[in-house]
Every structure is written in structure tokens, then in C-alpha cells.
Amino acid sequence: MKIKTIVAIIMIAVLGIYGASCAFGDKDKDASAKIPDSKKEVVELSLVCVGDIMAHKPQYESAYDAATGTYNFDSNYQYVKPYIEEADIALCNVETVFADKAPCGYPMFNAPDELATAIKNAGFDVAITSNNHMIDQGTAGVERSIQVLQNAGLSTVGSKLTEEEPDYIIVEAEGVKVGVVAYTYETTGSNSTPSINGLNIPADIQSRICSFNPAVWQTDITEIKDNVNAAKAAGADIVVCYFHWGEEYHSQPLDYQVNMANEMIADTGVDVIFASHPHVLEPAVVVWSEVQNKNVPVYYSMGNFISNQRSETLGSGRRNTEDGMIAGVNFEITKVDGQVAYIEMVEANVLPTWVNRYKPNGKWAYDIIPLDNNYGSNASLTASGNVYRADQSIVDSLNVVGSNYEKDEVGRILLFDASKWKTENTENTENAE
């Protein structure tokens, strides 16, 4: 993964305390103009995130090689791998645990360790562990999952091994520090004992996992805000929040999701919000914050990246569980004398994906298909005869994300383009005058 670095003049930039704002006022233009061009360097940084990586029983059975007694999940990601690898930082939600026991699927997940290796091989950098299946195998499962993922070369966030570790991570690409904070919803409700997915959180792990109670989110959000601010204080130039929230199979966010997102943006200046859990796509929007004076993309649910949930297993009314996305956000970071001075979010996009399941050799194969401009000639789709199902998937995805957006040359849906946004807002201002 590489970041393209160029030396250029930033015409519109934001001077912020830690460089995570994006405003377009005359004062900021004047400040930028006073800095010699020779001291400016612009770094282009791309982030991608995907939703739920699940490991149902048919999936791990399909990855099993009886001759060697080992598993290999690499083929699941072969078609999306180029899109993951090209990002500077790639994140994913790992919705299973690695508990060093026989693999099992729903309702108490446990995956072969080889899945962690495949996730790393696909190009991911950060594995998010905070989700509603994180305590399926108790404290030992939480702890060993962190170890397995880290041993595979992934950074982890959402749970931790020791009390001393912070509830955030900072990953770096080409001198830009990105903080990540990740939280899952609880099923605690009004009970006194915190629970996730109806399971009481073991006392010895309660303070080492990141969770919030939707019933009292107005109170619990304080801790999340504190962690965002702590990541900034520790040097993060950009801060990403991930939330595992919402209601399964709902294609629209619940009120608390919207309220939490808006409050996090206004009060902390978080730069991106990625989210999943409903197992279907929910809208992706770009929120303009008057308080922070910047645009922030919010992906309310990125859906399933890979699972065995589909129309064949859940019924025709659940075919949208086959749909996912690669959510992308691009930034331009201006450095002055090597230090981050300005940050601008320049693009937010969505590349829809669809999980193709078929039997090429009498055994299920699972392929995540990027629904780019060339998906019609994808080898997996043509071999299975399922191009028509991918056609339907992209229609369904566009109905949720929005069919009125333009696409880039690859086929990504462009939720936000800073150059067009500036032009439109300049025109609106001039017309108002």
C-alpha cells in the first residue's frame, strides 16, 4: 500500500488545532497564502472499510482441505483484493472469534485461525473485534482472537489484552496518523449486568471491551467521545469511528444511530463513521457540520462483506443479505515543514459488492464480487451463470445508497466530490448575495 505524495499549492485548506477540519473561509485562504509553496507538501490518503466478515459453517467447510487437514479462505477475496490492497489503510469487521477449538457457526461462532491469515492476505490492515459475537467463546475467546489477528499481522481495535492499553489504536501511513475507535452495542437494556447478544459480559473482560448500551446511549457516548479525544491527544491526525449498531435486516438507520452519529461529529470532530451489524446495507450520507466546519461521511451499515446469509438460506425476502460495499474515503493532507497543517476530505465513495455462492466442483465456493464496471465479465459470475443475480444486487444496492450519484471510472458511487461541492456552494453563496 502506498500513498501518492505530491508538492502542490492548496487553494482551499483549513488551519485546525490538530489539522482535522475542512473549512473554506477567506481567513484560511489568507493563512495558506502566507506559507511559501516550497514548504508545502500534499499527501493523498485513502481509507476503505468493509462490513461483516462472517464464518458460517458452510463457509469454513468449503475452505477445508481434507488431505492436509487445513483451511484456506484466500479464494473468497481474490476479486476484491486489488481494491483492498490499493487503499493506504483498510479496515474490516471480523464477526467471529478464534478460540482454539473446533470451528462452529451460528449462533456461537468460532473460526479456524486460517481466516485471520486470509484477511491479512486480502490486504486488510485493521481488524475490528467489537461486535455482537465477540464474547461467543467467553474471555478466552476474546483474548485469543486478539492474539491470532495480531499474529497474522493485523492491528486490532474494539477489545484489548491488558487494562493499560488505550481503547483506541493509531495506525500510520506515510507519516499520517489515523486513530481508530470501535464500539459495539449491548443488549443490556435496563438490566444491571452488561450483556452482549444476551450473554452476560464476563466480569474480567468488561473493562477490556468497547461497548455501549443503546438504551442509555446519551450517557455512554461520553466514553466514546473521550476516546476520540484521547486518540487526538496521542497524535492522531484523522480519527475514524466504527459502530456495530442498529437492528438486523433494517435498511434504514434507527433514530439513535442518527443521533449518535450527529453528536459524535459535532462534539468530537470525528472524520469518518463506518458501521455495520444489520447484515444489509443502510444509507451512506455526508454530513456537513456547522460546528466543526467540515464534511463527514457516515456509512450507517456496510452490510455483509461475506457470509452464508442469502435468499437460499433465509428466504427470498432476505436477498439483500448478499449485498455489501467497500466504503472509501480520500483525504488530502497538507504538511508544512513536515508537520500536518491542513486536512480536507476530498471524496467519499461506495463500491457495491455481492457474494456469489456456487458449486464449481461439487463443493461450495464463496466469491466476493466487486460490482465495478466490468463485473459482467467476472470469471466467477460467468462460470456460475449468476450475472443476472449480480445485476439485481447492484439495483438493490443503488436503491439504498442512491441512484442519483455519479460514478468514477472504476464504477464507484461518488457520494461526495470536494471540487464539485465547493463549486456548488460558491454558486449558492453568490446567488444568495
The confidence score (pLDDT) of residue 389 equals 98
What is the rounded average pLDDT for all residues in the chain?
91
Q: Who's near 15: CB < 8 A, 6+ residues apart?
A: 21, 28, 31, 32, 341, 342
The confidence score (pLDDT) of residue 314 equals 97
The pLDDT confidence band at residue 422, using thresholds 50, 70 and 90, is confident
The pLDDT confidence band at residue 40, using thresholds 50, 70 and 90, is confident
Q: How far is residue 377's CA from residue 3's CA, in Å, rounded to a whole number?
A: 30
The grid coordinates listed for 260 are 449518535
Q: Are 351 and 410 in contact (CB under 8 A)?
A: yes
The grid coordinates listed for 286 are 455526508
Q: β-strands 199-200, 281-289: how paired?
A: unpaired
- Arithmetic mean of pLDDT, 285-304: 97
Q: What is the pTM of this model?
A: 0.91
Which residue is associated with the grid cell 432476505? 318
Residue environment code for 27-36, b if the CB has 16+ CB neighbours within 10 A, otherwise e: ebeeebeebe
The pLDDT confidence band at residue 364, using thresholds 50, 70 and 90, is very high
Find the range with the poorest average confidence among 7-21, 177-191, 313-327.
Answer: 7-21
The confidence score (pLDDT) of residue 39 equals 78
The helix/strand/coil state of 68 is: coil
Q: How far is residue 34's CA from residue 43's CA, in Å, rounded to a whole number?
A: 20
Q: Is the backbone of residue 411 left (phi > 0), alpha (psi -120 to 50) or beta?
A: left
The grid coordinates listed for 259 are 443521533
- Arithmetic mean of pLDDT, 271-297: 97
The confidence score (pLDDT) of residue 13 equals 30
Domain locations in the chain as residue ranges: 46-328+352-384
- Arithmetic mean of pLDDT, 232-261: 98
The pLDDT confidence band at residue 427, using thresholds 50, 70 and 90, is low
- Arithmetic mean of pLDDT, 388-408: 95
Q: Are 103 and 111 in contact (CB under 8 A)?
A: yes
The grid coordinates listed for 300 are 450507517
Q: pLDDT at residue 210 above 70?
A: yes
**Whose CA is closest to 119, among 167, 88, 161, 76?**
76
Fold of domain 46-328+352-384: Purple Acid Phosphatase; chain A, domain 2 (3.60.21)
The pLDDT confidence band at residue 16, using thresholds 50, 70 and 90, is very low
The confidence score (pLDDT) of residue 23 equals 37
The confidence score (pLDDT) of residue 254 equals 98
HSE-up of residue 258 (Cα within 13 Å, Cβ side): 8
The confidence score (pLDDT) of residue 138 equals 98
**Dihedral angle sign, alpha carbons of residues 99, 104, 105, 106:** negative
- Arithmetic mean of pLDDT, 57-62: 98
The confidence score (pLDDT) of residue 276 equals 98
The confidence score (pLDDT) of residue 122 equals 98
Task: Kindly report the backbone phi and psi dihedral angles of residue 224, in degrees, each rounded to the nearest multiple of 5, phi listed first.
Answer: -65, -45
The confidence score (pLDDT) of residue 312 equals 96
**Dihedral angle sign, alpha carbons of residues 299, 304, 310, 315:** negative
The confidence score (pLDDT) of residue 424 equals 73
- Arithmetic mean of pLDDT, 71-79: 98
HSE-up of residue 61 (Cα within 13 Å, Cβ side): 10
Q: β-strands 323-336, 211-212: how paired?
A: unpaired
Q: What are the pLDDT digits (tens) for 149-179?
A: 999 999 999 999 999 999 999 999 989 999 9
The pLDDT confidence band at residue 180, using thresholds 50, 70 and 90, is very high
The pLDDT confidence band at residue 25, using thresholds 50, 70 and 90, is very low
Q: How far is residue 298's CA from residue 264's CA, in Å, rounded to a whole number?
A: 11
The confidence score (pLDDT) of residue 214 equals 98
The helix/strand/coil state of 217 is: helix
Q: pLDDT at residue 48 above 70?
A: yes
The grid coordinates listed for 395 are 439495483
Which residue is associated with the grid cell 464534511? 295
Angle at 91 between CA 88 and CA 97, to 5 degrees: 145
